[in-house]
C-alpha cells in the first residue's frame, strides 16, 4: 500500500499554487455573480506570495501548508484568508509522520475541518466551502477505516470534491455577502466551494504525480 514522503510535498504544493493561478479569473467571475468578485484576486495574491517566498525551498508538505496558511491568514483580504489559513495550518499540525497514506491524509483533513468549525458556523447545506471539504473528509476517513490504498482513492477524491462544488448551485446562501440575496443566490456556484474543489483536486493530482514517479 503506497504512501508518499512528507518531504516530497513540494510537488503537491506546486500543483495547488498553479491551480489557483490558472483559475483566478474563474474564481473572480464566480464570486462576482453573488459576491464582491475579489475571491480570485485574493487567492491568487496569497498563493503567489507564498510561492514567491518558498518555491525554491523544497518545503515538506506539512511545512508548506503551514507557511501557506500563515500567508493567507495574515496577508490577504476578505473572509477567505482566515478560513483557508486556519484549514491549512491545522492540517499542517496534524501531519506529524514522515510517510503519508490514507489515514494520515484523513486525519489532516479532519483537523482542518475541526479548526474551521471553531471559527465559522456554516455546515453542509449552507452553500460554502464546507459542502466540498466535509464530504471529502468523510470519504477519506471511510477509505482509511476500510483499508483502501492511497493510489485507488485519488480519482474518487477529485470526483467527490467536484460533486460538492456542483451541489452548491441548488443551495441558498446562509452566510457571507451572498446571504443578502436569499433565494436569488440559488442557481450559482459558491466561490469558496469552487476554490476548495480546485485546491483538493490539485492536491490529489500532486499525490498522483509523486506516486507515479515512485513506480
pLDDT tens digits along 170-183 = 999 987 777 777 78
Domain 4-214: which CATH class?
mainly alpha
Query: Hey, where are the domains in the chain?
Result: 4-214
Q: How many angstroms separate the CA atoms of 34 and 42, rounded?
A: 16
pLDDT confidence bin for 1, thresholds 50/70/90: low
- At residue 99, φ and ψ (nearest 5 deg) are -115, 140
Tell me the pTM: 0.96
Q: How many angstroms separate the CA atoms of 209 and 215, rounded?
A: 10
Share of the chain above pLDDT 70, in %: 98
DSSP state, residue 181: G
pLDDT of 215 strictly over 50: no
pLDDT tens across 19-47, in order?
Answer: 999 999 999 999 998 888 999 999 999 99
**Closest of 131, 133, 6, 16 to residue 68, by C-alpha:** 16
* Contact status, residue 76 vs residue 42, Cβ threshold 8 Å: yes
Q: Tell me what the mean pLDDT of segment 126-146 comes to.
A: 97
Amino acid at each position: 500500500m503506497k504512501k508518499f514522503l512528507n518531504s516530497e510535498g513540494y510537488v503537491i504544493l506546486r500543483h495547488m499554487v498553479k491551480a489557483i493561478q490558472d483559475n483566478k479569473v474563474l474564481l473572480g467571475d464566480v464570486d462576482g455573480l453573488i459576491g464582491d468578485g475579489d475571491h480570485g484576486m485574493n487567492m491568487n495574491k496569497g498563493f503567489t506570495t507564498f510561492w514567491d517566498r518558498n518555491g525554491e525551498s523544497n518545503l515538506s508538505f506539512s511545512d508548506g501548508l503551514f507557511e501557506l496558511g500563515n500567508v493567507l491568514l495574515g496577508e490577504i483580504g476578505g473572509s477567505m484568508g482566515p478560513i483557508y489559513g486556519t484549514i491549512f495550518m491545522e492540517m499542517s499540525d496534524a501531519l506529524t509522520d514522515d510517510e503519508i497514506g490514507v489515514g494520515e491524509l484523513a486525519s489532516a483533513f479532519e483537523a482542518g475541518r475541526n479548526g474551521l468549525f471553531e471559527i465559522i458556523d456554516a455546515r453542509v447545506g449552507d452553500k460554502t466551502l464546507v459542502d466540498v471539504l466535509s464530504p471529502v473528509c468523510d470519504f477519506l476517513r471511510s477509505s482509511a477505516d476500510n483499508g483502501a490504498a492511497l493510489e485507488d482513492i485519488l480519482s474518487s477524491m477529485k470526483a467527490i470534491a467536484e460533486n460538492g462544488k456542483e451541489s452548491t448551485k441548488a443551495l441558498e446562501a446562509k452566510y457571507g455577502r451572498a446571504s443578502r440575496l436569499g433565494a436569488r443566490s440559488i442557481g450559482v456556484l459558491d466561490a469558496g466551494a469552487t476554490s476548495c474543489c480546485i485546491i483538493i483536486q490539485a492536491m490529489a493530482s500532486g499525490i498522483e504525480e509523486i506516486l507515479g514517479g515512485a513506480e
